[in-house]
Structure 1
C-alpha cells in the first residue's frame, strides 16, 4: 500500500468518525458503524487507530484544530474579539442546530480513568482560556469571561435558544465596562 493510500484511508476514517462523534456522541457510535460508513476494512481502521480511544483522541485533536480555525476566522475582523466570541456561539448554534461543544459533550461520556481523552479535552479548554487571557489583561476577568462563555454554550444547547448567549454577552459587556471605568 502506498503512503498516499494510508493517509487517505486514515483521513477518511477520521472524517467519518468526526461526523459521527459530533452528531451521535462517542458512546452511541460503534466501530462497526465507522468502518461501514468509511467503507474501509476493519484491519485498516485498526492499523491507523488501534483502539476506539485512539480514534477518539484523533477526533478531539482534529475537532480542536477545526474549531480554532473557524473561531479565529470568525473573529478576524471583529474589533472586540471577546464580545464577538459570543456571536461565534450564536453562529455555531445556527450551523450545528444547538449541538453544543463537542468537548463538553465528550466529557459527559468519558470516565475519569480515560486520562488521554481527558488530556485532549483539557487541552482545548486551556487553549480557550488562553484566548481570553490574551485578549484581557486581567487574568481573573479573563477567567470570569471564559466561564460565562462556557455557560453560554451549555445553556443555549440545553434550552435550544440564543437567549442565554445574548444574556451572558450583556453581562460580559457590563463586566468589561466596569473593568475599563
Structure 2
C-alpha cells in the first residue's frame, strides 16, 4: 500500500492513543479527530480498527526488537548482555511517558481470539525468549532463557502494578544469580 503523510499521521495518532488508552478505549472517531484526517482518508488506508492495531503492533514489535538487539550488541559477555536488557528495562520503565509494555497492555485489552493481533504479540514475546537463548548459547545455558524471559515480563507487569524501580531491579538481581 502506498505511503502518505495522511497515513503516517493516522498511524502515529492511533499508536499514541493505543499505547496511552488501550485499543478498546480508543475509538475510530477519536483517531480521525486527533489525526486531522477525513473519515474516508482513514478508511482508504485502513479498513478496520483491527488493521490499525495490527499496524501499531507490527511497528512497535520491530522497534522493540531493534532496541533490545542494540542494547545487547553493546556488550561482549553473555552476562553483560543479559544485564543490559534489564538495565534497558529500568531506563524505559522510569520514563515519564511510560505506560507499560505495549504488548502486555494490549493482550489484556483485546479479546483472546483476536488472531492477527495476538499472533504479533506472541511472536514479539517469542523473539525476547529467543534473544535470551541466543545470548546464553556460548555458555551452553540456553535452558535459562525461559526463566529470564519470565523475570523480564514479570518485571514489566509488577512495575505496571506497583511502579518504581524495585520490580526491575529485583528481577535483575535474580537474573544475575541464575547466570
Query: Are the aligned partners of 2:158 and 2:167 in contact in 1 as well (CA < 8 Å)?
Result: yes
Query: Are the aligned partners of 2:65 and 2:124 in contact in 1 as well (CA < 8 Å)?
Result: no
Find the counterpart in structure 2 of residue 28 from structure 1.
25
Distance in 2 (alpha carbons) for counterparts of 1:67 and 1:16:
19
1:67 Cα deviation after fit: 1.7
Query: Are the aligned partners of 2:18 and 2:26 in contact in 1 as well (CA < 8 Å)?
Result: yes
Distance in 1 (alpha carbons) for counterparts of 2:18 and 2:66:
19
Find the counterpart in structure 1 of residue 117 from structure 2.
117
1:90 Cα deviation after fit: 0.9
Query: Are the aligned partners of 1:25 and 1:105 in contact in 2 as well (CA < 8 Å)?
Result: yes
1:98 Cα deviation after fit: 4.5
The partner residue of 1:76 within 73, 76, 93 is 73
How many residues were matched structurally? 173
State TM-score, norm by structure 1: 0.89
Distance in 2 (alpha carbons) for counterparts of 1:12 and 1:78:
36
State TM-score, norm by structure 2: 0.90
1:30 Cα deviation after fit: 0.6
Structure 1 residue runs of 5 or longer lacking an equivalent are 177-181
Structure 1 residue matching 2:95: 3-state secondary structure:
helix
Structure 2 residue runs of 5 or longer lacking an equivalent are none
> What aligned pairs does 1:123-142 form with structure 2 within 5 A after superposition?
123-137=123-137, 138-142=141-145
> Is 1:50 aligned to 2:53, yes or no?
no
The 1:118–1:96 alpha-carbon spacing in structure 2 relative to 1, beyond 3 Å, is: farther
Distance in 1 (alpha carbons) for counterparts of 2:167 and 2:125:
20
Find the counterpart in structure 1 of residue 105 from structure 2.
105
Deviations for 1:40-96, whole angstroms, at most 9, x for unmatched residues? 011111111101001000000011122222333334323411111111111111225
Deviations for 1:109-162, whole angstroms, at most 9, x for unmatched residues? 111221111111111111111111110123321111111111011111110111
Find the counterpart in structure 2 of residue 95 from structure 1.
95
Distance in 2 (alpha carbons) for counterparts of 1:74 and 1:37:
34
Runs of 4+ in structure 1 displaced over 6 angstroms? none
Distance in 1 (alpha carbons) for counterparts of 2:42 and 2:100:
28
Distance in 2 (alpha carbons) for counterparts of 1:64 and 1:96:
21
Query: Are the aligned partners of 1:26 and 1:106 in contact in 2 as well (CA < 8 Å)?
Result: yes
The 1:168–1:125 alpha-carbon spacing in structure 2 relative to 1, beyond 3 Å, is: same
> Is 1:153 aligned to 2:151, yes or no?
no
